[in-house]
Chain A
Amino acid sequence: MTSTAAYIRILIASAALVIGAAAAINVLIDPYDISQLVRIPGLNDDKVHEQGFGRLRKPFDLWRRHYDGIALGSSQVERGIDTENPALAARGLTLYNGGLSEERPFEQALLLKHAAEVSGVRFALISLDFLRYVGGGGRPDFLPRTWNRWHGLGEYLKTLVSYSTLADSAATVTASWLHRPGPQHGPDGLLNAEELERAGGPHVYEQFESVDDVYLNSAYAPALQARTAIEHDGFDHTAIREMLATAHGAGVQLYFFITPSHARQFEIINILGLSSLYRQWVRELTCEIARDPGREGGPPFALWDFSGYNSVTTEPVPALNAKTLMRWYFDPIHYKRATGRLIEDRLLGLPAAELSGIEDFGTQLSLQTIDAHFRTVARRQQEYLAAHPEFYADVAALNHDARQANHSDPAASTPGRTPLVSGEPHERLCRCERSSCD
């Protein structure tokens, strides 16, 4: 028989031993690349599970290093915005890639604030994605109110004391031992998607087909449900306003840009009858950013649109079974680092050889030019569809319920027929009246 006090001590010590051992293993193996204590080839150098924990790892990266700028957005940014752009280096600028899979606008605002506070960033490239504004996504269980040190430490400690992290540590050891690399972030937050693409995977056509399928048949379902309410009430721009407030408070120059999804995505929005809502979104963004006076002593904050029909977004998709890789895209929404460099060059005015011949990539928006921009996009769309009739048919064939789509926006159901671009009802509903913006 053990004494009561000894029994209590042994019980607590046993529990602490189990927890401590698990935490120690997780700290050393470091499957999410956060502690960065040791990196031993063959033991923990292939961190195959860190991608999903970018939300935890990236704030830690910003604590560790000073960066001049940060790029914020969802997985497009995470894979495409090139932190190693030579034009940046030539200007002596360092850029951190703060892209996160399905990063929602409020997460962008949080991470921008964090980066301004702890890493001293002076500029931010902020990707705006229509789907994130209407379709949610992200991690519904991950809703940080702030990213201070205590919060970050608490979140990290929680991951250490967890079976799932222990399982990921085991997977890290296995992958490292067998040299089976998975997607990993570089030191500046960029995801190594291009190395993976070179290593082999589904053919590009299959990638396009599967992603388009998801976007056409399920991803925009919340947008279709909320369309009437949004048309009436407008989009929620709280995150944009928070980012503008951070920019003013911390002296950060903001560069907003609409993500350059492949033109097939533009047609999907069209097929689903969401074109009008999309233009309402662009117009509201223009209003929100135009009415901000910009940073004191600096130029006004810019909004660029890289979507629509231009030399990049209309890059031909390789045929079925072709092993050819694309120059600008992995799939219809994820662009490559080359595209990311073009975006950086455009936004920051960097001298770049790659831009020659593709001058039509990207348009800076303002209240004065937006109607003309819409007309240009519509004209290019019409011209392109007329020249490539198979393009629309290829996308439309993926629609599981064509009847429903046709019903939802008859104007958009016929190839080559362009929806209205001006005088639409949404113009009257824009949250920002011209008089108050001009």
Chain B
Amino acid sequence: MLFNSASFIFVFLPLTLAAFAVAVRLRSSPLAVAVLVVASFVYYGWWEPGLLVLLGASTAFNYVMGRIIGHTVLCKQTALVKVLLSVGIGGDLSLLAYYKYGDFFITNLNALTGLTNGLPTIALPIGISFYTFTQIAFLVDAAKGQITLSAVRSRLRLFDYALFVSYFPHLVAGPIIHHRATIPQFHRMAANGWDTVAIATGLSIFAIGQFKKIGLADNVAPFADVAFAQATTGSLPLLDSWIGAIAYALQIYFDFSGYSDMAIGLSLLFGVRLPVNFASPYKATSIVEFWSRWHMSLSAFLRDYLYIPLGGNRRGAVRRYMNLMLTMLLGGLWHGAGWTFVVWGGLHGLYLIINHASRFVFGQPSPNPTIGVLWFKRAFVFLSVTIAWVFFRSDSMGAAYNLFQGMSGASGFAATSSHAASLGWIAIGLVIVWALPNTYQIFARFNPSLPLPPQLASVPADLLAWRMNAALAIVLGGLLGSCILGVNRFSPFLYYRF
């Protein structure tokens, strides 16, 4: 069930809200939690009921491990904590390795050794990467003693934890949430009645998310699809290649940020604020800044639970660069079990190393660059990111090579067809990503999400700030209705596959 499907919009969401309304009427947070746990498992089981066993087992395993680790920390048995943490993380990673990387591993092993080992075809359980990471963070924090005595003894109820893992707005494609920021909100849910401001804000953000997905991502997607499909069989001319690559850069942004907007908007209907996942990433003027704006919940996870434990920047420049590269390679692999994803991660690791090294050599960039310098940097970062997306999107390294060959002009310059439509959509997309404020800036006055870092939390001019008036309600309602008319075509979100 997709957020942009008729079954979600017309059946699942109204029924869930109706059940939640009972909890609100009774001012009962535990009932609200129970309602949302059931709804979330129904939502997840809609794809494949058998997957509920996996989700349930993973949730129960981590809940038990988290509680045991929490108690062990309280008893100050440090060595045992490390053993338990290893068992917990090992269990989580084993699950991920089996379902997501088993086939990749066997295929590569066969290629290296000439063996013909086979694995039964394993369908990737949807959302497994997200809920596994969420729970690893929970176990690590438990081992650090960040799960409090009261939480361990009384407040961390199984249903709270189950909702933290399975909460349907974030379950299958993030944002990756943190227990410290989320579970306390569950405890307050429904206790004070409906939060109508949050509902108004949530509906409006949900409408914008739908528009990003159906109105923008789905309309630029065909141009990317055509180019990348052609690249699987041969090279293509310069303009076709660039249009394909840029269309994909826009598609993945509108698709994933649209999904994140919908997740944040839906969560607000239940009074729960999720972390922001995108803050105008294509406005970044450096790769370091790009990663502080793109898929922010994953970046934060990789920073806190991989890069820093590896040593971060505390052990010299060389070790720092190695840690960066390793983090990004694993980040690439997290996105998919394929060499194109590894290369994508490696390329971003290289970008980051160059970025940090240049700061080391030339010093920190000016915080107030001239307009010309600002736009040069912005375009340069966009170009670099777009080049990396080619690996991310390509079916194989050969297809990526074909597209790069086209982008270099080595396969000719003549366009295969008229590009008026594709160029028009690309122009619209670039204007939106470069010139307009992002959703959270537009709604900043109404606290739609968990707080943003101060450098990303600027509020736009009054003209572009959202306010509650009838005209905007009609516009956004009309937009939502128009997008719903477009839902009756199968168009899965790109990040569902990760």
Q: Judge whether A161 and B6 touch: CB under 8 Å.
A: yes
Q: Tell yes or no: A141 within 8 A of B by CB.
A: yes
Q: How far is the CA of A11 from the CA of B485 in the complex (A)?
A: 16
Q: Name B473's contact: one of A11, A18, A22, A165 (CB within 8 Å).
A: A11
B480 to chain A, nearest CB (A): 4
Q: Tell me the nearest residue of chain B to A6, going by C-beta.
A: B470
Q: How far is the CA of A126 from the CA of B466 in the complex (A)?
A: 61
B96 to chain A, nearest CB (A): 30
The residues of B that contact A163 with a CB separation of less than 8 Å are 485-486, 488
Q: Judge whether A10 and B474 touch: CB under 8 Å.
A: yes
B479 to chain A, nearest CB (A): 8
Q: Judge whether B473 and A19 touch: CB under 8 Å.
A: no
Q: Judge whether B477 and A1 touch: CB under 8 Å.
A: no
Q: Tell yes or no: B468 within 8 A of A by CB.
A: yes
Number of A-B contacts (CB under 8 A): 95
Q: Tell yes or no: B383 within 8 A of A by CB.
A: no
Enumerate A1-32 residues with CB–CB distance to B below 8 Å.
1-8, 10-19, 22
Known: A1-B467, A7-B468. A19 touches B474 (CB 8 A): no
Enumerate B52-92 residues with CB–CB distance to A below 8 Å.
none
Q: Judge whether B481 and A15 touch: CB under 8 Å.
A: yes
Q: Tell yes or no: A408 within 8 A of B by CB.
A: no
B412 to chain A, nearest CB (A): 26
Q: Name A22's contact: one of B10, B474, B485 (CB within 8 Å).
A: B485
Q: Judge whether B481 and A16 touch: CB under 8 Å.
A: yes
Q: Judge whether A164 and B489 touch: CB under 8 Å.
A: yes
Give the interface centre of A3, A5, A11, A14 by most chain B CB atoms within 10 Å: A11
The residues of A that contact B204 with a CB separation of less than 8 Å are 11
Q: Tell me the nearest residue of chain B to A3, going by C-beta.
A: B468
Q: How far is the CA of A159 from the CA of B196 in the complex (A)?
A: 33
A302 to chain B, nearest CB (A): 40
Q: How far is the CA of A6 from the CA of B472 in the complex (A)?
A: 12
Known: A22-B485, A161-B485. A2 touches B468 (CB 8 A): yes
The residues of B that contact A19 with a CB separation of less than 8 Å are 481, 484-485
- Binary per-residue interface labels of chain A (299-319) against chain B in the complex, 1 for a CB within 8 Å, 0 otherwise: 000000000000000000000
- Binary per-residue interface labels of chain B (1-21) against chain A in the complex, 1 for a CB within 8 Å, 0 otherwise: 000001000100000000000
- Binary per-residue interface labels of chain B (468-498) against chain A in the complex, 1 for a CB within 8 Å, 0 otherwise: 1110111111101110111111100000000
B271 to chain A, nearest CB (A): 13
Q: Tell me the nearest residue of chain A to B477, going by C-beta.
A: A14
Q: Judge whether B468 and A17 touch: CB under 8 Å.
A: no
The residues of B that contact A6 with a CB separation of less than 8 Å are 470, 473
A221 to chain B, nearest CB (A): 16
Known: A1-B469, A8-B199. A18 touches B478 (CB 8 A): yes
Q: Judge whether B203 and A8 touch: CB under 8 Å.
A: yes
Q: Judge whether A15 and B468 touch: CB under 8 Å.
A: no
Q: How far is the CA of A161 from the CA of B487 in the complex (A)?
A: 8
Q: Name B470's contact: one of A2, A4, A162, A164 (CB within 8 Å).
A: A2
Q: Tell yes or no: A407 within 8 A of B by CB.
A: no
B484 to chain A, nearest CB (A): 6
Q: Tell yes or no: A180 within 8 A of B by CB.
A: no
Q: Name B485's contact: one of A1, A12, A162 (CB within 8 Å).
A: A162
Query: Chain B: interface secondary structure?
Result: helix
Q: Tell me the nearest residue of chain A to B203, going by C-beta.
A: A11
Q: How far is the CA of A153 from the CA of B186 in the complex (A)?
A: 37
Known: A1-B467, A2-B470. A158 touches B6 (CB 8 A): yes
Q: How far is the CA of A13 from the CA of B475 in the complex (A)?
A: 11
Q: Name A8's contact: one of B196, B469, B489, B490 (CB within 8 Å).
A: B196
Measured as residues with beta carbon below 8 angstroms from the partner, the interface class of chain A is: 20 to 34
B214 to chain A, nearest CB (A): 10
Q: Tell yes or no: A166 within 8 A of B by CB.
A: yes
Q: Tell yes or no: B452 within 8 A of A by CB.
A: no
Q: Tell me the nearest residue of chain A to B199, going by C-beta.
A: A8
Enumerate A278-302 residues with CB–CB distance to B below 8 Å.
none
B34 to chain A, nearest CB (A): 25
Q: Judge whether B480 and A162 touch: CB under 8 Å.
A: no
Q: Tell me the nearest residue of chain B to A13, going by C-beta.
A: B477
Measured as residues with beta carbon below 8 angstroms from the partner, the interface class of chain B is: 20 to 34
The residues of B that contact A166 with a CB separation of less than 8 Å are 485
Q: Tell me the nearest residue of chain B to A14, going by C-beta.
A: B477
Q: Judge whether B488 and A161 touch: CB under 8 Å.
A: yes
- Binary per-residue interface labels of chain B (353-364) against chain A in the complex, 1 for a CB within 8 Å, 0 otherwise: 000000000000
A34 to chain B, nearest CB (A): 15
Enumerate B98-124 residues with CB–CB distance to A below 8 Å.
none
Q: Tell me the nearest residue of chain B to A166, going by C-beta.
A: B485
The residues of B that contact A157 with a CB separation of less than 8 Å are 6, 10
Q: How far is the CA of A165 from the CA of B207 in the complex (A)?
A: 22
Q: Tell yes or no: B191 within 8 A of A by CB.
A: no
Q: How far is the CA of A4 from the CA of B474 in the complex (A)?
A: 14
Q: Judge whether B200 and A18 touch: CB under 8 Å.
A: no
Q: Tell yes or no: B197 within 8 A of A by CB.
A: yes
- Binary per-residue interface labels of chain B (174-203) against chain A in the complex, 1 for a CB within 8 Å, 0 otherwise: 000000000000000000000011011001
A247 to chain B, nearest CB (A): 31
Q: Name B481's contact: one of A18, A141, A162 (CB within 8 Å).
A: A18
The residues of B that contact A165 with a CB separation of less than 8 Å are 488
Known: A4-B197, A7-B200, A158-B6. A14 touches B468 (CB 8 A): no
- Binary per-residue interface labels of chain A (354-368) against chain B in the complex, 1 for a CB within 8 Å, 0 otherwise: 000000000000000
Q: How far is the CA of A162 from the CA of B6 in the complex (A)?
A: 10
The residues of A that contact B482 with a CB separation of less than 8 Å are 18
Q: Judge whether B200 and A8 touch: CB under 8 Å.
A: yes
Q: Tell me the nearest residue of chain A to B467, going by C-beta.
A: A1
Q: Name A4's contact: one of B468, B478, B484, B487 (CB within 8 Å).
A: B468
Q: Tell me the nearest residue of chain B to A22, going by C-beta.
A: B485
B252 to chain A, nearest CB (A): 23
Give the interface centre of A6, A13, A17, A161 by most chain B CB atoms within 10 Å: A161
The residues of A that contact B197 with a CB separation of less than 8 Å are 4
Q: How far is the CA of A3 from the CA of B469 in the complex (A)?
A: 8
Give the interface centre of B196, B469, B473 by most chain A CB atoms within 10 Å: B473
Q: How far is the CA of A157 from the CA of B485 in the complex (A)?
A: 11
Enumerate A108-166 residues with CB–CB distance to B below 8 Å.
141, 157-159, 161-166
The residues of B that contact A8 with a CB separation of less than 8 Å are 196, 199-200, 203, 473
The residues of B that contact A16 with a CB separation of less than 8 Å are 481
The residues of A that contact B478 with a CB separation of less than 8 Å are 14-15, 17-18
B465 to chain A, nearest CB (A): 13
A5 to chain B, nearest CB (A): 6
Q: Tell me the nearest residue of chain A to B6, going by C-beta.
A: A158
Q: Tell me the nearest residue of chain B to A160, going by C-beta.
A: B488
A379 to chain B, nearest CB (A): 45
Q: Tell me the nearest residue of chain A to B202, going by C-beta.
A: A8
- Binary per-residue interface labels of chain A (161-198) against chain B in the complex, 1 for a CB within 8 Å, 0 otherwise: 11111100000000000000000000000000000000
The residues of B that contact A161 with a CB separation of less than 8 Å are 6, 10, 484-485, 487-488
The residues of B that contact A162 with a CB separation of less than 8 Å are 485-489
Q: Judge whether A10 and B477 touch: CB under 8 Å.
A: yes
Q: Judge whether B488 and A10 touch: CB under 8 Å.
A: no
Q: How far is the CA of A158 from the CA of B200 in the complex (A)?
A: 27
Q: Name A7's contact: one of B469, B480, B484, B486 (CB within 8 Å).
A: B469
Q: How far is the CA of A141 from the CA of B196 in the complex (A)?
A: 39
B206 to chain A, nearest CB (A): 10
Q: How far is the CA of A19 from the CA of B199 in the complex (A)?
A: 21
The residues of B that contact A18 with a CB separation of less than 8 Å are 477-478, 481-482, 484-485
A21 to chain B, nearest CB (A): 9
Provide 9 A-B residue pairs closer than 8 Å at the C-beta atoms, listed in order of the A residue: A2-B468, A6-B473, A7-B469, A8-B196, A14-B477, A18-B485, A19-B481, A161-B488, A163-B485
Residue numbers of A with Cβ under 8 A of B are 1-8, 10-19, 22, 141, 157-159, 161-166
Q: A18-B484, A161-B488 are in contact. List 18 more A-B contacts (CB 8 A).
A: A1-B468, A2-B468, A6-B470, A7-B468, A8-B200, A10-B474, A11-B200, A11-B204, A12-B477, A13-B477, A14-B473, A14-B478, A15-B207, A18-B485, A22-B485, A158-B488, A159-B488, A162-B485
A-B CB proximity, top 7 nearest: A14-B477, A18-B481, A10-B473, A162-B488, A15-B481, A11-B477, A4-B196
